[in-house]
Amino acid sequence: MTDHTDDRKVRSGRWRRVRGAALATAALAVWGAVVFAPVPASAARDGAPGATHAGVHPAAVGAPGQVPGEQPGVQRWLTLREGLQIELNNAIVAVRTLDRSDRAGATARCQRLLRVAGALTVFAGAPAANVDRLAKAGMQKFVTGAQACLGGNYDSALATIQAGLDERTAAQDALDATLMGH
């Protein structure tokens, strides 16, 4: 007969290590979701505990006098909205290159832009109000342009989207300067 007691001990020890690592990973993920989750702007307006007027927990804001682009809260905010920013750029390109004869395709592209521009419009405010204002430049024009696009008014939609792009371009230098503390 073969003695399997040593084999079970090895498997049992390995299982404990795997289970422990899985639990540690899960705990870290939950902790990260709680600590780094943005406070919705609506919660800040409603006076939720731990929220500031900008919709960010006070611990997320850097030291007074610190350059906005170096503040942990601003960096976290920029990182959290980065995916939406990329999707916005992709959605704008999709609308600007749409085939007007393909109504279903045009509608999908316009809905995509409306969805992402709307999400960025209501995204929690930046810890620095001037950063938030500059980062949202042109966003309302993208929403309006997407709505015109959904209505089939492509010329108006493209003109409005271009106005939004112009507004964002004009704000970009000011946003860069603000983030660098100039």
What does pTM read for this prediction?
0.64
Whole-number percent of the chain with pLDDT over 70:
65
Over residues 102-157, the pLDDT tens digits come to 999 999 999 999 999 999 999 988 988 889 999 999 999 999 999 999 999 999 99
Answer yes or no: is 68 within a domain: yes
Quickly list DSSP for the chain. ----HHHHHHHHHHHHHHHHHHHHHHHHHHHHHHHHPPPPHHHHHTT-TT--TTSS-GGGS--TT--GGG-HHHHHHHHHTHHHHHHHHHHHHHHHT--TT-HHHHHHHHHHHHHHHHHHHHSPPPSSHHHHHHHTTTHHHHHHHHHHHHTT-HHHHHHHHHHHHHHHHHHHHHHHHHHTT-
Query: Is the same domain home to 134 and 169?
Result: yes
Query: Is the same domain home to 30 and 67?
Result: no
Query: Is the same domain home to 87 and 171?
Result: yes
In this prediction, residue 128 carries a pLDDT of 85
The one-letter amino acid code at 151 reads G
Provide the token pair at 28.
Answer: 């870290």
Answer yes or no: is 103 within a domain: yes
Say how many domains are in the chain: 2
Query: Is the same domain home to 79 and 155?
Result: yes
Domain of residue 9 covers 5-36
Query: Is the same domain home to 83 and 160?
Result: yes
pLDDT band for position 66 (cuts 50, 70, 90): confident
Query: Is the same domain home to 92 and 133?
Result: yes
The total of other beta-carbon atoms located within 10 Å of residue 16's CB is 10
Query: Is the same domain home to 81 and 161?
Result: yes
Query: Is the same domain home to 14 and 78?
Result: no
Over residues 165-176, the pLDDT tens digits come to 999 999 999 999
Query: Is the same domain home to 81 and 157?
Result: yes
